[in-house]
Amino acid sequence: MELVYSTQNSDFDPEKRYRNPAHFDRPEAGVTHAVVIGDWPKVVDAYEAMGVEVSVLKPLISPPVDSGDADAIVGLEQDNATLRAERDGILRLVDAAEGQSDLEHPGAGELPIRLFGALKAVHEGFETLTDERDTLAGEVESLRGEVARFKAAAEPVDNAEKIASLKAQLDAANVTYRANASVESLEKAVADLHQA
C-alpha cells in the first residue's frame, strides 16, 4: 500500500491515501511505499528503518512569506501571548485540582475562567458533602449511645436471682417444686400461694 504524507488541504487524489506528517508518531503497518511531500525527516527515517521504500518530493507551492506585514506579526504575537496566558491559567488550575496549590481565580482567559467556575463548584459541593458526612457521623454516634442505653434498660432481671427469690418464697410456705422448674411455673406457684 502506498501512503502519502502531505500537509495539503485540497487537491487530493481519490486513488491515494494521505496522512498529515505533523501528526506522525509511528509508521503504519502494511505500507510498501511512502511518499513524503516536504521536509519531514522523522517520517522518512522511521519508514526507511522498517525497510520501506520512501520518495521525498518538494511541495508544489510554498506558503508565501510577507516579512513586511508587521501588523500580522504583531497579531500573531498577541495571539500567542493570549494562548500562553490561558495555558498558564489552566496549568495553575490543574495544580490546584491535584492539591498542589490553592484554587485561585485565573484572572483572564475564557477557558481558564470557565474551568475555574467548574472546579469551584466541585470544591464547594465536596465541602458541603464533607460537612453533611461529619454531621451524620455525629448523629450516628449519638444514636449508638441511645441504643446502648435502651439495651441496658431492656435487659431482663437476672433469672438466677429471680428463681432463687421464688424458690425461697415457696420453701418458706413448704410448697414442693421440681428442681429444674421454669421461671414461669415458679411464678405461677407463688401466685397460687398469695391467692390461697
| Grid coordinates of 180 | 429444674
Q: Are 46 and 26 in contact (CB under 8 A)?
A: yes
The pLDDT, as a whole number, for residue 180 is: 87
User: Please, what's the b/e burial string for 118-150 (b: 16 or more CB within 10 A of its CB; e: otherwise)?
Assistant: eeeeeeeeeeeeeeeeeeeeeeeeeeeeeeeee
Q: Using CA atoms, how far apart are residues 7 and 21, in angstroms rounded to an integer? A: 7
Q: For residue range 18-58, list pLDDT tens digits in order.
A: 999 999 999 999 999 999 999 999 999 999 999 999 999 98
CA-CA-CA-CA torsion sign (141, 143, 147, 148): positive
The pLDDT, as a whole number, for residue 70 is: 67
Residue type, 44: V
The pLDDT, as a whole number, for residue 60 is: 67
CA distances from 106 to 30, 34, 86, 196 (A): 48, 46, 9, 94
Residues of the chain with pLDDT under 70: 60-70, 152-158, 196
